[in-house]
Structure 1
Amino acid sequence: MMPGPPPARGGRGVACVQLWIHAGAAAERSREHGCAHLFEHMVFKPWVDAEGRSHDLASAIEALGGDVNAFTSHDETVFHATLPGDAIEEALAILLPAVTSRPIDPALLDREKQVVIEEIHQYEDDPAARSIQALMADLYGDHPYARPVLGELEELQALTTARLRGWQRRQCRGESLTLVVTGCADPGAVEAQARALL
Structure 2
Amino acid sequence: MTSRSTRKTARTSSEGRAVARTQTLLKGENGIGTVRRTTLPGGLRIVTETLPSVRSATFGIWANVGSRDETPALNGATHYLEHLLFKGTAKRSALDISSAIDAVGGEMNAFTAKEYTCYYARVLDTDLPLAIDVVCDMLTGSLIDAADVDAERGVILEEIAMTEDDPGDCVHDLFAHTMLGDTPLGRPVLGTVDTINALTRDQIARFYKKHYDPTRLVVAAAGNVDHAKVVRQVRAAFDRAGALHRTDATPVAPRSGARTIRTAGRVEVLGRKTEQAHVVLGMPGLARTDDRRWALGVLNTALGGGMSSRLFQEVREKRGLAYSVYSYTSGYADCGLFGVYAGCRPSQVHDVLKICRDELDKVASEGLPDEEISRAVGQLAGSTVLGLEDTGALMNRIGKSELCWGDQMSVDDMLARIAAVTPDEVREVARDVLGQRPSLSVIGPLKDKQAARLHEAVS
TM over 0.5: same fold?
Answer: yes
1:119 correspondence with 2:166 = no
Kindly tell me the number of residue pairs found equivalent between the two proteins. 190
Residues 87-112 of structure 1, C-alpha deviations (whole Å, 9 max, x = no match): 11111111111122210111111111
Q: Which residue is 1:106 aligned to? A: 146
1:30 positional shift: 4.4
Q: Which residue is 1:157 aligned to? A: 197
Residues 111-167 of structure 1, C-alpha deviations (whole Å, 9 max, x = no match): 111111111122223322332222111101243110000001111111111111111
1:6 positional shift: 5.2
Q: Is the 8 A contact 2:149 2:201 kept in 1?
A: yes
Q: Is the 8 A contact 2:74 2:199 kept in 1?
A: yes
What is the distance in 1 between the residues matched to 2:211 and 2:69?
9
Check 1:176–1:122 CA distance in 2 against 1; reply closer, same or farther (3 A cut).
Answer: same
Q: Is the 8 A contact 1:25 1:144 kept in 2?
A: yes
Report the secondary structure of 1:75's partner residue: coil
Amino acid at match of 2:173: Q
1:70 positional shift: 1.2
1:132 correspondence with 2:172 = yes
Q: TM-score, normalised by structure 2?
A: 0.40
> How large is the Cα RMSD of the aligned pairs?
1.8
Q: Which residue is 2:118 aligned to? A: 78
Bigger Cα Rg: 2
Q: TM-score, normalised by structure 1?
A: 0.88
Residues 27-85 of structure 1, C-alpha deviations (whole Å, 9 max, x = no match): 1234321111111111222x240xx6545322211112211111111111111211010
Amino acid at match of 1:169: K
- Return the match for 2:106 from 57, 66, 86: 66
Amino acid at match of 1:38: Y
> Which ranges of 4 or more aligned residues in structure 1 deviate by more than 4 Å?
none
After TM superposition, the structure 1 = structure 2 runs for residues 23-34 of structure 1, keeping only pairs within 5 Å, are 23-34=65-76
Report the secondary structure of 2:185's partner residue: helix
Percent identical among aligned pairs is: 31
Comparing 66-75 and 22-31, the one that deviates more: 22-31
Task: Structure 2: give runs of 5+ residues left out of the alignment.
Answer: 1-47, 239-459
Check 1:48–1:87 CA distance in 2 against 1; reply closer, same or farther (3 A cut).
Answer: same
- Return the match for 1:38 from 59, 77, 80: 80
Amino acid at match of 2:50: P
What is the distance in 2 between the residues matched to 1:83 and 1:111?
29
Larger relative contact order (CA 8 Å, sep ≥ 6): 1
Q: Which residue is 1:10 aligned to? A: none
What is the distance in 2 between the residues matched to 1:101 and 1:168?
11
Task: Give the number of the structure whose residues are more often helix, by fraction.
Answer: 1
Q: Is the 8 A contact 2:89 2:138 kept in 1?
A: no
Report the secondary structure of 2:114's partner residue: coil
